[in-house]
Structure 1
Amino acid sequence: MRRHLDTIVATLESGLSNARVEAINNKIKLTVRMAYSFRSLDNLFAIVMLICSGLQVPLLGRA
């Protein structure tokens, strides 16, 4: 902990963290697990981009 004291203090002073990056990484990992049976990497990349974009796609027959 002494070795990283300067970094810890700087983080606390600035209030910055890597929480957003970790959240997106977790979404991508969950999506890859969900899309295990996809036959194409293009389809996998498309679903990752869709899920991480936050875009709400209206489904037919749902309010």
Structure 2
Amino acid sequence: MTPRLERITVPPFSEEIVICESWPHCDCVGDCPDAIRSPVVRRILIGMMAAVALIGAGLIYVGVRT
């Protein structure tokens, strides 16, 4: 999944710059990192999903036993 890039001029009719769809919040100005492809972010995401699944399974187990 690559970010969509767009060419704009700020102010109008000035120098053209390339921005991503998250601009101005990302402050990347054309060099948008694809965060989900980062190995660290992927490991954190998988760890959090596993934690949520384990907590849910634990709650179901406690609910069934009582």
Shared fold (TM-score, shorter chain, > 0.5) = no
Decide which structure has the larger Cα Rg and report it.
2
Normalised to the residue count of structure 1, the TM-score between the two structures is 0.41
Normalised to the residue count of structure 2, the TM-score between the two structures is 0.40
Structure number having the greater strand percentage = 2
Structure number having the greater helix percentage = 1
